[in-house]
Structure 1
Amino acid sequence: MEKTFLNYPDWQDTADTIHLFLQVAGKVKVERCAPRPEWEHVLLYLLPDGLTTGLIPGDNSPFSVFFDFRQHQVEFRNGEGKRVDIPLEDGLSVADFYKQFNNALEQLGSPTPLCVKAQQFYEPVDLDKDEKHHTYDKIAIRKWLQSLFFAYKAMSLYLAPFHGKIHYPAYYFGRMDLSCMVFNGELVANPSGNKIVNKALDEGMYACGFWPGDISSPQAAFYALPYPFIEDLKDNTALLQPDKAIFKPDKKEFFLALEDAFSYPNPEKAVVSFFKSGFDTLQQIQPWRNLNFVSKQ
């Protein structure tokens, strides 16, 4: 991978627009797919040219939605051979995209009423009325996609030795992150009344991912999140690798900035080491009962 990267301020206008475009597709999966634990049914999947919903149940025929960031268009296809495209270009507002997206679903024979409120966004946005976000920088999109490819490979290498239940790397449209998870097989009751939190945090797990940053945390970064949460590292700070990785008690997460990862001779190795060391730290503080599903590399 070319050693270039974007932090959130470098492409904020485009990042926000794409974030909201992809939320529209994610919301279709929320409405049409059978609910799965940890919101597995709403994931988007990485392909060489972009992101896809995968197969979605339709009214008369299943369909998929593919964001092609090489040809810069959104492709709708169904099981009857119908296809509808939406060009992606600078100046296309979220409101216009939302209208065209719904028209495409109607043409496929699967109109889908959606909640228009943006999820986990830093300001209140109604997707059907949003004219503010309309920036599409093709160069920035490609750099972001390259970061996702790099993150996907690192996460795949980290996951390789696990025999137990895992979620392979996929895109979560709420926070715009690409993440994976390994689970310990124990259900955990979450006291929160928040529907999203309760669905996401109902089982002991260790999540790893890549996040492009946002208005409050502008650095693109890799993260690792144990659940149940850990409050501090106690006497285990030396386990966390590489040396620029940190633990943020307020977030209860481990972080390694993308920029810092590329400061090492082997960035990929640094990221995999980061994921592994976070898991090892978790096992010292909050050991899982059964680690037989973890092979030694």
Structure 2
Amino acid sequence: MDKNFLTYPDWQATADTLHLYLQVAGKVKLERSYPEPEWGHVRMPLTVQGIGTGIIPGPAANFEIYFNLRQHHVDVQNSNYIRTRLELSDGLSVADFYRQLMGALDFIGAPTTINTEPQEFYDPVPFDADTKHATYDKHAVELFLDNLHFAHRSLGQFFGPVRGKVFAPSYWFGTMDLSGTIFSGQPEPYPGSGVIAVNCFDERFCEFGFWPGDPSSTEPAFYVMPYPFLSNIGSYGTMLAPQKAEFLTRSSEFILTLKDAFSYDDPQRAVVDFCRTSFDILQRMDPWGDIEWITQPLTYD
């Protein structure tokens, strides 16, 4: 176990439990929010102590669900000062958390019915029946939050000067990643089917994110995913930085593991360089219109 981060197997039981807790809250936001392009309405903001839903429209008052991952509790509150709190601790199953959160929403006057099937998760037990996932290691959760904050700083530095339509780095409850996106403004309808993909892949874009791993890819990593997807980058691979970054043809993504990022003297600069060079390669291979304006340097002193 590394002192700076955990591989997915190091904390799988806790990672899965936390992932599913956050999915329950994310699905409440999905159910009640006004739809936005590219699923923008389900983004969950990172805060100094955790992850929240942000403001959700309620039947009588706006409300929010906030996970404090330092003090390990969940605050459920509305704009009329009605508030309740759920404690996060080892042994709290997903089923118990689901029932407690639904009760909390009833208490604040925002009862919400959600689809209880997990989203993009390898073990699809409905939330209300999931007594299997009940592990909560507070140290592991706090280390994950530390990694999210490192990712937010690094990605934020890269995104800062970008013009045009951007999703700032946010948490996505389906895949447990923190990512942001630069959009080209050029339509590119998805050639396949499925409500998630069709409403996500509808214009040219490039996503930049951090992901803690899963059963098939256990290393936490930064990634850059262009759409339309690249099948290879050919000789442009020499442009990719830092040296330990790579392009994976099987997933059509640029990858820099967190371990490799931390191996450099300036890890944040390594991540920024990774994002910048990956985007530069994309623009060499599949240039966007108005790219000069999107990347034009800012004039602040």
Q: Give the structure-2-normalised TM-score.
A: 0.97
Q: Percent identity?
A: 46
Q: In structure 2, what residue type is equivalent to 1:19?
A: H
Which whole-Å deviations, capped at 9, do the CAs of 1:137-189 have from their partners, x for residues lacking one?
Answer: 01001100000000001111001121111000000000000000111111111
Q: Tell me which residue corresponds to 2:230.
A: 230
> Could you report, residue by residue, the CA deviation over 1:218-264 in whole angstroms, capped at 9, with x for unpaired residues?
00000000011111002201011111101011100000000010111
Match of 1:179? 179
Q: Give runs of aligned pairs for residues 56-135 of structure 1, distance below 5 A.
A: 56-135=56-135
Q: Deviations over 1:72-95 (max 9, x none)?
A: 100011011000100000000000
Q: Deviation of residue 29 (structure 1)?
A: 1.0
The residue type equivalent to 2:227 in the other structure is Y
The reply to whether residue 294 of structure 1 matches residue 284 of structure 2 is: no
Q: Give the Cα separation in 2 of the matches to 1:161 and 1:95.
A: 43
16-25 vs 284-293, greater mean Cα deviation: 284-293
The two structures, once aligned, show a CA RMSD in angstroms of 1.1
Q: How many residues align?
A: 296
Q: Is the 8 A contact 1:8 1:213 kept in 2?
A: yes
Contact 1:3/1:262 (<8 A) preserved: no
For 2:250, the equivalent position in structure 1 comes to 250
SS at match of 2:207: strand
The separation in 1 between residues aligned to 2:263 and 2:44, in whole angstroms, is 30
Q: 1:46 maps to which residue? A: 46
Residue 193 of structure 1 deviates from its aligned partner by 1.3
User: What's the secondary structure of 1:102's corresponding residue?
Assistant: helix
Query: Which residue of 2 is the match for residue 241 of structure 1?
Result: 241
Quote the Cα distance in structure 2 between the aligned partners of 1:235 and 1:243: 15
What secondary structure is seen at the aligned counterpart in 2 of 1:115? coil
Q: Hey, what's the Cα distance between the residues in 2 that align with 1:123 and 1:23?
A: 13
Indicate if the aligned counterparts of 1:95 and 1:130 stay in contact, CA closer than 8 A: yes
Query: 2-side partners of 1:124 and 1:63: how far apart?
Result: 28
Match of 1:161 in 2: 161
Letter in 1 for 2:156: S
Aligned partner of 1:207 in structure 2 is 207
Q: CA deviation at 1:3?
A: 6.2
The amino acid across from 2:296 in the alignment is S
User: 4+ residue stretches of structure 1 with deviation over 6 A?
Assistant: none
Q: Does 1:193 align with 2:193?
A: yes
Long gaps (5+) in structure 2: none
> Which whole-Å CA distance do the structure 1 matches of 2:155 and 2:104 have between them?
34
CA distance in 1, matches of 2:128, 2:3: 37
Q: Distance in 1 between matches of 2:124 and 2:181?
A: 29
Cα deviation for residue 295 of structure 1 reads 2.1
Q: Is the 8 A contact 1:14 1:140 kept in 2?
A: yes
**Amino acid in structure 1 at the alignment position of 2:49:** D
Secondary structure of the corresponding residue to residue 294 of structure 2? coil
